Structure 1
Amino acid sequence: MKLALNEVGGRVSIFTLMEYAVKKLEYYMLRIQLYQLDDTGKGYITKKGLMLYICRKLETENRYWNTNGKDEYPLKIFYFESLASEIFFVLDPHRTNKIRIVELLDSRYLPNILDQFSERLMFSKFMRKMAAFMAMDEDGNECIPVASFCEKFPALSQNLLGNGERRQLMDTFLYRLVQIYGDPEIDKGKISFETYMDITFAFENLKYSFSSICYFFRVLDVDNKGYLDQMDLQFHYRNVQDYMEQKTGISIKEHEQQRFANFKGIQAQISDLLAGEGGLNHITPAKLFKVRNGHMLIEFLVDVAQSLETQDDYYQQASADSSFPDNDLKTTNNPNHSSSSTTSNENLADNDLMNLSTPPPSISLKNEEGQGDVPLDSGLVGV
Structure 2
Amino acid sequence: MELDPDIVKEFENLEVATEKPSEEELCSFDEEAPLKATPQLQHHTYSTIPKFFHAPPPAHNTLRQNLRKEAHSLFLQKRSQELLDNDELGALWTLLEKHCTQVTPLGQQLIDYDDYLKLLEAVSAKCKKYVTARLYAKLLCHSMYPANFAGKVEIASIFNYTMRKVWLTQGRIGLSFYDEIGQGYLREIDMENYIIDIIPTLAQISSCVQPSFQSFYVCTVVKKFFFFLDPLHTGRIRIRDILASGLLTELLELRDEEAPKETQELNWFSMPSVLTVYGNYLNLDKDHNGMLSKQELAGYGTGTLTSVFLDRVFDECRTFDGEMDYKTFLDFVLALDNRHEPQSLHYLFRILDVQHKGYLTAQTLHYFFKGIQEQISAVNAEAVNFEDLKDEIFDMVKSKDPFKITLQDLINCGQAETVVSILIEFHKFWAYENREDGSHNV
User: Is TM-score (shorter-chain normalized) higher than 0.5?
Assistant: yes
Q: Kindly indicate whether the alpha-carbon contact (under 8 Å) linking 2:199 and 2:205 is maintained by their aligned counterparts in 1.
A: no
Three-state SS of the structure 2 residue aligned to 1:261 is coil
The within-5 A match list for 1:244-323 is 259-275=382-398, 277-310=399-432
Three-state SS of the structure 2 residue aligned to 1:51 is helix
Equivalent of 2:349 in 202, 206, 217? 217
Distance in 1, matches of 2:179 and 2:314, equals 28
Residue equivalent to 1:45 = 186
Equivalent of 2:276 in 128, 133, 141? 128
Distance in 1, matches of 2:204 and 2:400, equals 53
Unmatched 5+ stretches in structure 1: 158-165, 251-257, 317-341, 350-383
Three-state SS of the structure 1 residue aligned to 2:421 is helix
Q: Does residue 238 in structure 1 map to residue 374 in structure 2?
A: no
- CA deviations on 1:238-269 (whole Å, 9 max, x unpaired) are 34335666x57x9xxxxxxx843232222221
Three-state SS of the structure 1 residue aligned to 2:282 is helix
Distance in 2, matches of 1:92 and 1:20, equals 29
Relative to 1, partners in 2 of residues 1:238 and 1:280: Cα closer, same or farther, differing over 3 Å? farther
Distance in 2, matches of 1:55 and 1:10, equals 45
Instruction: Provide TM-score, normalisation by structure 1.
Output: 0.63
Q: What displacement does 1:22 show? A: 5.7
Q: Kindly indicate whether the alpha-carbon contact (under 8 Å) linking 1:88 and 1:99 is maintained by their aligned counterparts in 2.
A: yes
Unmatched 5+ stretches in structure 2: 1-132, 141-148
Equivalent of 2:321 in 168, 187, 193? 187
- CA deviations on 1:105-127 (whole Å, 9 max, x unpaired) are 22232133222365442332222
Three-state SS of the structure 1 residue aligned to 2:178 is coil
Q: Does residue 106 in structure 1 map to residue 228 in structure 2?
A: no
Distance in 1, matches of 2:280 and 2:242, equals 30
Distance in 2, matches of 1:242 and 1:202, equals 24
- CA deviations on 1:302-361 (whole Å, 9 max, x unpaired) are 1122334556789x9xxxxxxxxxxxxxxxxxxxxxxxxx9xx97xx5xxxxxxxxxxxx
The within-5 A match list for 1:165-180 is 166=302, 168-180=304-316
Three-state SS of the structure 1 residue aligned to 2:252 is helix
Q: Kindly indicate whether the alpha-carbon contact (under 8 Å) linking 2:201 and 2:255 is maintained by their aligned counterparts in 1.
A: no
Relative to 1, partners in 2 of residues 1:169 and 1:12: Cα closer, same or farther, differing over 3 Å? closer
Q: Kindly indicate whether the alpha-carbon contact (under 8 Å) linking 2:230 and 2:236 is maintained by their aligned counterparts in 1.
A: yes
Residue equivalent to 2:221 = 83
Residue equivalent to 2:136 = 4
Q: What displacement does 1:23 show? A: 4.5
Greater RCO, CA 8 A, separation 6+: 1
- CA deviations on 1:5-25 (whole Å, 9 max, x unpaired) are 348988997x98776666445
Q: Kindly indicate whether the alpha-carbon contact (under 8 Å) linking 1:93 and 1:210 is maintained by their aligned counterparts in 2.
A: no
Q: Kindly indicate whether the alpha-carbon contact (under 8 Å) linking 1:271 and 1:279 is maintained by their aligned counterparts in 2.
A: no
Q: What displacement does 1:46 show? A: 2.5
Q: Kindly indicate whether the alpha-carbon contact (under 8 Å) linking 1:91 and 1:104 is maintained by their aligned counterparts in 2.
A: yes
Identical columns (%): 21
Distance in 2, matches of 1:11 and 1:303, equals 52
Equivalent of 1:202 in 322, 335, 342? 335
Three-state SS of the structure 2 residue aligned to 1:226 is coil
Residue equivalent to 1:368 = none
Q: Kindly indicate whether the alpha-carbon contact (under 8 Å) linking 1:86 and 1:201 is maintained by their aligned counterparts in 2.
A: yes
Aligned length: 289
Q: What amino acid maps onto 2:236 in structure 1?
A: K
Q: What displacement does 1:218 show? A: 0.8
Three-state SS of the structure 2 residue aligned to 1:236 is helix
Q: Does residue 56 in structure 1 map to residue 178 in structure 2?
A: no
Q: What amino acid maps onto 2:168 in structure 1?
A: Y
Relative to 1, partners in 2 of residues 1:26 and 1:295: Cα closer, same or farther, differing over 3 Å? closer
Residue equivalent to 1:147 = 295
Name whichever of 278-287 and 128-137 sits farther off.
Answer: 278-287
Distance in 2, matches of 1:265 and 1:19, equals 54
Q: Kindly indicate whether the alpha-carbon contact (under 8 Å) linking 2:220 and 2:330 is maintained by their aligned counterparts in 1.
A: yes
Q: Kindly indicate whether the alpha-carbon contact (under 8 Å) linking 1:213 and 1:285 is maintained by their aligned counterparts in 2.
A: yes
Relative to 1, partners in 2 of residues 1:24 and 1:267: Cα closer, same or farther, differing over 3 Å? closer
Q: Kindly indicate whether the alpha-carbon contact (under 8 Å) linking 2:229 and 2:242 is maintained by their aligned counterparts in 1.
A: yes
Q: Kindly indicate whether the alpha-carbon contact (under 8 Å) linking 1:261 and 1:312 is maintained by their aligned counterparts in 2.
A: no
Name whichever of 302-311 and 122-131 sits farther off.
Answer: 302-311
